Chains A and B, each alone.
Chain A
């Protein structure tokens, strides 16, 4: 294992992998969403391009690539162009901290299935996911037209107010696992034998609801409510810039699902780690378990989108300030008490 390979080839390989991983997940996610929503509505969904429509997202991307990329004359050029980058950048960067599985030993070298492991990995991911809000604000404001402005205003208030319950519930997990490092949290769950999702169901529910709201999805997709604001903050975008917004939203969803899986459902651990009888589940590599769990949560996203109507803006805000935040605080208090007494 020459130093060249260890210091250059492998990190570069891992970086390319981390860039490709969300891209592939985004493609899979776009296809999954269109198929699942279609199947739930009694129709087949895309099944012509590629096997069962798998290449449909690729076709969309190519179409968007060649579409004319227009910009309003009075639009603020710099902000208009920077915002898709901001949104995309923050989602992709956060994937560096997401541990995908147990480190693999190749001879003397241990290949760690993540790029960076930092004691405050959780904090960094939360920080990055709120940077994408800037992209949305600049995009909405810079398009210099009414609908995107209203869409941007709405999404600012929504994402900021939903970050509070997210932060609180994530805090309870960090509190119980006594660390903010994602790998440590998973190891802690393995050691304690139970997943935190079963240990603290309330924080899981609150985290999941505010996660849906934070990615502007399903019942909370106010900023891009087609029937009201035409297309919300990315109305004026077209071509690749629109594709960036579109892919960033899905990347953000995949990021949040992997966060849920790691924090509450034991990242790459097989279902019941402590039960000896199910030890054979360990044979299946951790990465597969991780993927299965993520797919379940992505399916849940789409399932909710196909079912529930859209909240009105004021009831959405009332929900977070009158229900979710008190619930998160109470839950944090209970967890703290339990931790203290034990």
Chain B
């Protein structure tokens, strides 16, 4: 029987019809597309977006310019200089240059920072229009959210 069965199956194109049935069923199934600019899929809590510096509650910067992150970074993104003000307890960075285009998002700097001044944000829209726009200086390291978009790429960012 199996030989005739096989012949009949192949003559009446059963294998192809089964395939067509699958695509037809999927034709009516749920679509996975997310309409991107209008609806942005929220990344997970541990998402490794661009790294940002943080301030404590009183608004003073947490960073004490210990350069642990500069040493830990494998691709040399950091260039930090710090100075201890008279009477201040702790050193503060005077220059904090960070290159976004060299960063591999590996997370060593975040892990090694003693005061957890530098942490991952969940921002993944990191397109810029020019190369020096990707070089962040000290004040720029605190920008986050929408004004990070305008800092990175003021040009084509349509107001949402």
Contacts and interface: CB of A to CB of B under 8 A. Distances in A.
**CB atoms of A and B under 8 A apart anywhere in the complex?**
yes
Interface of A: 36, 39-44, 303-304, 306-308
B31 A303 contact: no
Contact of B19 (A36, A42, A44, A307): A307
A43 B32 contact: yes
Range class of the B interface residue count:
10 to 19
A41 B24 CA distance: 10
Contacts of A42: 26, 29-32
A304 B31 CA distance: 20
B36 to A, nearest CB: 11
Contact of B20 (A43, A44, A307): A307
| 8 A-B pairs closest in CB distance | A44-B33, A307-B23, A40-B23, A307-B19, A40-B27, A43-B33, A307-B20, A306-B23
B26 A41 contact: yes
A36 B16 CA distance: 18
Most chain B CB neighbours (cut-off 10 Å) among A40, A44, A308: A40
Contacts of B29: 42
Most chain A CB neighbours (cut-off 10 Å) among B20, B24, B29: B20
Interface of B: 16, 19-20, 22-24, 26-27, 29-33
B27 A308 contact: no
A290 B27 CA distance: 25
Main secondary structure of the interface of A (DSSP, over half): helix
Contacts of A304: 20
Contacts of A39: 27, 31
22 contacts: A36-B27, A39-B27, A40-B23, A40-B24, A40-B26, A41-B26, A42-B26, A42-B30, A42-B32, A43-B31, A43-B32, A44-B31, A44-B33, A303-B20, A303-B23, A303-B24, A304-B20, A306-B23, A307-B16, A307-B20, A307-B22, A308-B19
Contacts of A306: 23
Contacts of B33: 43-44
Contacts of B20: 303-304, 307
A307 B22 CA distance: 8
Given A42-B31, A307-B20, 12 more contacts: A40-B23, A40-B27, A41-B26, A42-B32, A44-B31, A44-B33, A304-B20, A306-B23, A307-B16, A307-B19, A307-B22, A308-B16
B11 to A, nearest CB: 10
A36 B24 CA distance: 10
A331 to B, nearest CB: 14
A40 B20 CA distance: 10
A44 B33 CA distance: 6
Nearest to B21: A307
A36 B27 CA distance: 8
A304 B32 CA distance: 22
Contacts of A303: 20, 23-24
A40 B28 CA distance: 8
A38 B16 CA distance: 20
Contacts of B32: 42-43
Contacts of B31: 39, 42-44
Contacts of B24: 40, 303
Nearest to B17: A307
A166 to B, nearest CB: 19
Contacts of B30: 42
A44 B35 CA distance: 9
A67 B7 CA distance: 51
A95 B121 CA distance: 61
B138 to A, nearest CB: 41
B17 to A, nearest CB: 10
A88 B84 CA distance: 78
A40 B27 CA distance: 4
Contacts of A41: 26
A307 B25 CA distance: 12
Nearest to B27: A40
A41 B33 CA distance: 11
A139 B63 CA distance: 66
A208 to B, nearest CB: 12
Contacts of A307: 16, 19-20, 22-23
A308 B16 CA distance: 7
Contacts of B16: 307-308
